[in-house]
Amino acid sequence: EDFFISTATEYGYELFMEEFGERVIKGRFSEETLKEFISGKGITTIIDCTHPYAEVITELAGKVSAASGTGYVSMVRNTGPGDIDYERGIRVGSVREAAEKIKETGLATPFFTTGSKDLDFIEVLEGRDVFVRVLPFEESIKRCVEKGINRKNIIAMQGPFSRELDIALIKQYGFDVIVTKNTGREGGFFEKVKAAEICGIWVVIVG
């Protein structure tokens, strides 16, 4: 059957283009442009496979599908409860709150694996040796540099990441805390937590 794949990022576009070619479109929908796309392409069903933190597009897709009579199927990744049995695990509501908690506890070498979009936390941790892991794209690295993150502290890699790799990074750079979102099993959440536990460092969970 005919189908289209929509992605908002260059990473997703390049990944899907290799297999699906012209069926892949890149860009961010507004309510109006999504309605126009559905009508223009004769879309009968929206299948939502977005990241669990992509709340805006999930809400938009549900709203537009209901208004237009288009079918809607949610296949958003299940993050699970994110409960961990680890005494050095802390849960917070935002990346900035994670940074504030790190500052309070006196941790010196944090490793943020929360992406390149929310980097305002860096001002909270001035003077600390902050490391970030982001996708290997110029735009992501540019955001980090503009926020004042040292280039040598930018780990630009494409996942998924194994427990062994996270352990190696912790040991190589001397991280004393990992900051992560609950991205579920597919996103390597439990691998990061286990790596932190094995190395005896803190883990801060956002969300």
Contacts (Cβ under 8 Å, ≥6 apart) of 196: 86, 88, 166, 170, 177, 178, 202, 203
Looking at residue 81, its pLDDT comes to 47
Q: Which two tokens stand for residue 63?
A: 């709203």
Average pLDDT, integer, range 123-135: 93
Residue 168, pLDDT > 90, answer yes
Residue 94 C-alpha from the chain's centroid: 13
Q: 6-10, 106-110, 203-207: lowest mean pLDDT where?
A: 6-10
Looking at residue 184, its pLDDT comes to 67
pLDDT tens-place string over residues 101-112: 999 888 999 999
Q: 52-66, 75-89, 96-110, 154-168: lowest mean pLDDT where?
A: 75-89
What fold, for 89-206?
Rossmann fold (3.40.50)
- Map tokens 């490793």 to a residue: 111
Please state whether the predicted TM-score (pTM) of the whole model is above 0.85: no
**CA distances for 77 relative to 104, 107, 129, 183, 185, angstroms:** 33, 32, 32, 8, 9
CA pair distance 95, 106, nearest whole angstrom: 17
Burial of residue 121, with CB atoms counted within 10 A of its CB: 0-12 exposed, 13-18 middle, 19 or more buried: buried
DSSP 126: T
**All CATH 3.40.50.620 domain ranges in the chain, comma separated:** 89-206
Contacts (Cβ under 8 Å, ≥6 apart) of 7: 13, 16, 24, 25, 26
Higher-pLDDT residue of 54 and 111 is 111
Relative to beta strand 202-206, strand 45-48 is: unpaired
Mean of pLDDT over the chain:
87
